[in-house]
C-alpha cells in the first residue's frame, strides 16, 4: 500500500493533468456510482489533494470524489491519448482537454457532499498530515506529548493514521531507526530529548521521501551508493528491507521482526 509520500506525489501528477479544467467525461466503473459520472461531467475540477493515504478530487458543484487505493488500486495519468493498455479493471476515468486520470482496481471510492466529507469515517479520524504545509515540528511534538497517547507502543502507534496521517510500514521502520528507538518503547517512556529527536525524524523522513521519490536514506550516502552501481532498492532505505545487512550507523546486523502484523526492521546496536 502506498504511504503518504507516494500518495502526495501521485496527487501532484493528477493535479497537473486535470485540476483547473472542465471534466469533459467522467466515468465510474462501479454500478453503484455509475449515475455520478454524467452528473460530474461538465463540472470544473477545482482541486486534487492527498489526505493521509486518500485522494480527494474536488469539483465546482461542491462534491468530492474520495479514493483510497488500499492494496491494489493504481492511478495512471496521461496528458494525451486514450486509456493505457492494461488488464486491470477501470474504476474511474476523468478526461479534460488538458489530460486524463485513470483509476484501476481500487474498490474504496465515494462521491461525497461537503457534510459527508466532514463526517467520513476515514477522513474525520485522521491526525495531522505529515506532508501538509501547516504541519510543523511543534505540531508533531504536540502529538508525541499527548497524554492520551502516552501508553501506546511506538511499533503500533506509527501505523495509526489517527496519530499522524501518511505513516506506513517503511516510514515506521525508518523513523524509529533514525530516532534510535525500539518499537516496544511507549511515548510516556521518552524524555524531552528523545521526544524531540523522534519528532524531527517523524517530520523529516516523509518529506525526504516525497522530495526524492522514496529515498529515506542519507542522501549523500544514497548518491554515493548509486554512483557505485548499487541498485535503488539497496540504497533507498537506512534499515527497511535490510535484514542481515550491517547498520550504516553502528555496523550491527539489522534484524527483521513482525510488529502489529507487519514486517519491521531493527538495529539492536542503535535501538536498544
* Residue positions annotated with a catalytic role: 2-3, 53, 262
Would you give the DSSP letter of residue 85? P
Contact 96, 103 (CB under 8 A): no
Cell 502529538, located at residue: 143
Strand ranges (E), the chain: 25-28, 45-51, 54-59, 64-68, 74-78, 90-95, 100-104, 108-112, 254-259, 262-267
Instruction: Check: CB of residue 64 under 8 Å from CB of residue 111.
Output: yes
Burial class (CB in 10 A: 0-12, 13-18, 19+), 257: exposed
For 220-242, letters b (16+ CB in 10 Å) and e give: eebeebeeeeeeeeebbbbbbeb
Asked if residue 221 lies in contact with residue 235, where contact means CB atoms within 8 angstroms, the answer is yes
Neighbours of 17 (CB within 10 A): 21
Going by C-beta distance under 8 Å and a sequence separation of 6 or more, which residues neighbour residue 98?
A: 17, 18, 20, 21, 79
Name the CA radius of gyration of the chain, rounded. 20
To the nearest 10°, report the CA torsion of 94, 95, 101, 107: 20
Amino acid at each position: 500500500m502506498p504511504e503518504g509520500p507516494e500518495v502526495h506525489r501521485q496527487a501532484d501528477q493528477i493535479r497537473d493533468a486535470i485540476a483547473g479544467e472542465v471534466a469533459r467525461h467522467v466515468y465510474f466503473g462501479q454500478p453503484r456510482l455509475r449515475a455520478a459520472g454524467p452528473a460530474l461531467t461538465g463540472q470544473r475540477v477545482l482541486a486534487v489533494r492527498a489526505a493521509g493515504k486518500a485522494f480527494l478530487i474536488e469539483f465546482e458543484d461542491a462534491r468530492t470524489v474520495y479514493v483510497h487505493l488500499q492494496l491494489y488500486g493504481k492511478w495512471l495519468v496521461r496528458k494525451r491519448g486514450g486509456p493505457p493498455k492494461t488488464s486491470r479493471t477501470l474504476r474511474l476515468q476523468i478526461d479534460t482537454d488538458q489530460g486524463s486520470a485513470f483509476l484501476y482496481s481500487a474498490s474504496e471510492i465515494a462521491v461525497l457532499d461537503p457534510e459527508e466529507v466532514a463526517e467520513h469515517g476515514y477522513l474525520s479520524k485522521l491526525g495531522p498530515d505529515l506532508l501538509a504545509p501547516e504541519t510543523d515540528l511543534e505540531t508533531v511534538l504536540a502529538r508525541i506529548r499527548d497524554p492520551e497517547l502516552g501508553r501506546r507502543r511506538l511499533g503500533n502507534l506509527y501505523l495509526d493514521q489517527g496519530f499522524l496521517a501518511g505513516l506506513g510500514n517503511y516510514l515506521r521502520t525508518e523513523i524509529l531507526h533514525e530516532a534510535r528507538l525500539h518499537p516496544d518503547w511507549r511515548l510516556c517512556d521518552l524524555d524531552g530529548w528523545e521526544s524531540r529527536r523522534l519528532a524531527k525524524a517523524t517530520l523529516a523522513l516523509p518529506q525526504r521521501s516525497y522530495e526524492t521519490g522514496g529515498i529515506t536514506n542519507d542522501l549523500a550516502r544514497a548518491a554515493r551508493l548509486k554512483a557505485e552501481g548499487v541498485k535503488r532498492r539497496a540504497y533507498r532505505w537506512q534499515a527497511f528491507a535490510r535484514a542481515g545487512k550491517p547498520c550504516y550507523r553502528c555496523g550491527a546486523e539489522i534484524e527483521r521482526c513482525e510488529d502489529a502484523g507487519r514486517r519491521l526492521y531493527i538495529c539492536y546496536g542503535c535501538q536498544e
